[in-house]
């Protein structure tokens, strides 16, 4: 909720209006590094933020930027005022004088309209905080240049205030980022390729007529850095050249990783075979036709999933030998208890319990297939990835269908028993 207080955050005073300088001020009103861009960027980041503490920070500073927009707007309007009635002043910027009546609008100093393209919003809090630190740094420089081009003392005071607040915000964002205690380069969730991440490519080389001399510094030597000299000019057979680490994943021949994949597939194979035995019992236990049909469909899918797992193991040169899956054993045992307890319950309650047991199985399988698929992708077994992707999609779809039936059953459970079957089948 916003509440406008009819008082500027900083009292604006302009002694000698300067229309041309007023035009420059519009850069901080509707420009890429201006106050509106900052207010929108921080506020929308705040709306997206799941962290309540840092959400408060973003909303606080986003709101302050709106007050800065008001200060800049008042400054610009006061400097542009002569263009309302003075022909010579109006000629300084006809767009402002003729189209805008000598007032401000959401344009930058070149007359380009403000755009949401200015905003840097990724939804990753640490990345957004870094963008905000950079945005404040750019805004500070713009204010500094405006001060240097300003002759009016009152305007300079206001600009000095605004420039100082940019540093304040930068400090707050930097402290918030530091408080997250994330390593400086741990961006996102996927780790960079080991080795490659520490290679510095000396890609601009030469001396004299062929270019400037190469330099060394903490950005390309010391620590973990590995200096790769002129990678584009390297000859494959050069003995003294540092090879570029171009692999982004373990090579397909990595025996240990392949063994892990085989182990995962055998575990899933045993899990699916247990599901094959359990589904006929669930079909028999289901009270409502829609749920029974869903279990029958998934029984057919599970048979195909067993075939795909067998084919995947064959592609790896491994026998289709199942490894006991203790996790699925427990889920199946739990499902049998649910079916036994359901015999004494109403139709809707019994089937809702059955759906709960089935969804626990589905979630287990979704997790297992996701792990195996990701591992196969890293090992570049594209045929196996395709097989596992198909099975994973079937498990995810089955889970969604179970959700749909469960929602219907929730409604049916509140209806008279005489009409519940008719309503569900409809």
pLDDT for residue 82: 86
- Whether the per-residue pLDDT at 185 is higher than 80: the answer is yes
pLDDT for residue 237: 47
In this prediction, residue 418 has a pLDDT band, given cuts at 50, 70 and 90, of very low
Eight-class DSSP state of 381 = -
Q: How many CB atoms lie within 10 A of CB 40?
A: 19
pLDDT for residue 402: 94
Averaged pLDDT score across all residues of the chain: 88
CATH number of the domain at 19-179, out of 3.30.70.260, 3.40.50.1980, 2.40.50.100, 1.20.1260.10?
Answer: 1.20.1260.10
Judge whether 259 is annotated as a binding position: no
Let me know: does 51 contact 166? Beta carbons within 8 Å.
no
- Whether the per-residue pLDDT at 200 is higher than 60: the answer is yes
Judge whether 347 is annotated as a binding position: no
Helices H / strands E in the chain, number of each: 14, 2
Taking the CA of residue 313 as centre, how many other CA atoms within 13 Å lie in the half-sphere pointing to its CB?
20
Distance (Å, rounded) from C-alpha 386 to C-alpha 395?
A: 15
**Model pTM greater than 0.85?**
no
pLDDT for residue 117: 94
Nearest to 267 by CA among 363, 364, 377: 364
Q: What's the rounded mean pLDDT across residues 96-105?
A: 78
In sequence order, what are the beta bridge partners of 227?
200
- Whether the per-residue pLDDT at 314 is higher than 90: the answer is yes
Q: Note the CATH number of domain 255-425.
A: 1.20.1260.10
Q: How many CB atoms lie within 10 A of CB 171?
A: 12
- Whether the per-residue pLDDT at 209 is higher than 70: the answer is no
- Whether the per-residue pLDDT at 26 is higher than 90: the answer is yes
pLDDT for residue 195: 85
Judge whether 136 is annotated as a binding position: yes
pLDDT digits (tens, 9 = 90+) for 130-149: 999 999 999 999 999 999 99
pLDDT for residue 353: 93
- Whether the per-residue pLDDT at 421 is higher than 70: the answer is no
pLDDT for residue 213: 74
Judge whether 169 is annotated as a binding position: yes
Eight-class DSSP state of 111 = S
Tokens linked to 305: 């999933």
The residue extents of the domains of the chain are 19-179, 255-425
Nearest to 376 by CA among 271, 267, 266, 265: 265
pLDDT for residue 111: 87
pLDDT digits (tens, 9 = 90+) for 399-409: 999 999 998 88
3-state secondary structure of 201: strand
b/e burial code for range 293-331 (CB count within 10 A of at least 16 → b): ebbeebbebbeebbebbbebbeeeebeeebeebeebeeb
Let me know: does 268 contact 361? Beta carbons within 8 Å.
no
pLDDT for residue 193: 83
Distance (Å, rounded) from C-alpha 426 to C-alpha 290?
A: 9
Which residue has better confidence, 389 or 193? 389
- Whether the per-residue pLDDT at 302 is higher than 50: the answer is yes
Distance (Å, rounded) from C-alpha 272 to C-alpha 303?
A: 8
Judge whether 35 is annotated as a binding position: yes
In this prediction, residue 273 has a pLDDT band, given cuts at 50, 70 and 90, of very high
pLDDT digits (tens, 9 = 90+) for 227-251: 887 666 665 545 556 777 765 555 5
């Amino acid at each position: 909720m916003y509440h406008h207080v009819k008082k500027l955050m900083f009292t604006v005073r302009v002694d000698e209006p300067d229309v041309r300088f007023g035009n420059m001020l519009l850069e901080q009103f509707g420009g890429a590094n201006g106050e509106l861009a900052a207010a929108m960027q921080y506020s929308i980041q705040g709306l997206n933020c799941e962290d309540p503490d840092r959400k408060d920070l973003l909303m606080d500073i986003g709101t302050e930027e709106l007050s800065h927009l008001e200060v800049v707007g008042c400054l610009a309007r006061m400097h542009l005022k002569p263009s309302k009635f003075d022909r010579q002043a109006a000629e300084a910027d006809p767009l402002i004088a003729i189209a805008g009546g000598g007032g401000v609008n959401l344009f930058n100093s070149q007359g380009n309209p403000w755009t949401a393209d200015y905003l840097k919003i990724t939804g990753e809090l640490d990345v957004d905080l870094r963008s905000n630190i950079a945005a404040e740094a750019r805004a500070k420089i713009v204010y500094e240049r405006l001060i240097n081009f300003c002759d009016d003392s009152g305007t300079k005071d206001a600009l000095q205030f605004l420039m100082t607040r940019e540093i304040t915000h930068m400090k707050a964002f930097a402290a918030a980022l530091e408080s997250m205690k994330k390593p400086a380069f741990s961006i996102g969730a996927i780790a960079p390729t080991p080795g490659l991440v520490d290679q510095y490519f000396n890609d601009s080389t030469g001396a004299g007529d062929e270019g400037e001399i190469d330099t060394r510094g903490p950005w390309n030597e010391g620590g973990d850095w590995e200096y790769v000299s002129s990678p584009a000019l390297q000859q494959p057979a050069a003995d003294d050249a540092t090879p570029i680490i171009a692999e982004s994943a373990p090579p397909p021949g990595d025996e240990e990783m392949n063994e892990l994949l085989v182990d995962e597939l055998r575990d899933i194979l045993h899990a699916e075979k247990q599901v094959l035995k359990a589904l006929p019992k669930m079909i028999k236990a289901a009270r409502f036709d829609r749920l029974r049909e869903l279990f029958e469909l998934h029984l057919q899918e599970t048979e195909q999933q067993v075939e795909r797992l067998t084919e995947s193991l064959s592609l790896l040169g491994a026998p289709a030998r199942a490894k006991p899956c203790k996790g699925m054993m427990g889920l199946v045992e739990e499902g049998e208890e649910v079916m036994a307890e359901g015999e004494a319950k109403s139709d809707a309650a019994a089937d809702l319990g059955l759906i709960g047991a089935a969804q626990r199985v589905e979630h287990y399988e979704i997790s297992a297939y996701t792990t195996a698929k990701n591992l196969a992708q890293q090992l570049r077994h594209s045929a196996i990835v395709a097989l596992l992707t198909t099975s994973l999609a079937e498990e995810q779809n089955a889970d969604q269908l179970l959700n749909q039936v469960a929602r219907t059953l929730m409604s049916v459970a509140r209806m008279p028993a005489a009409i519940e079957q008719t309503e569900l089948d409809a």
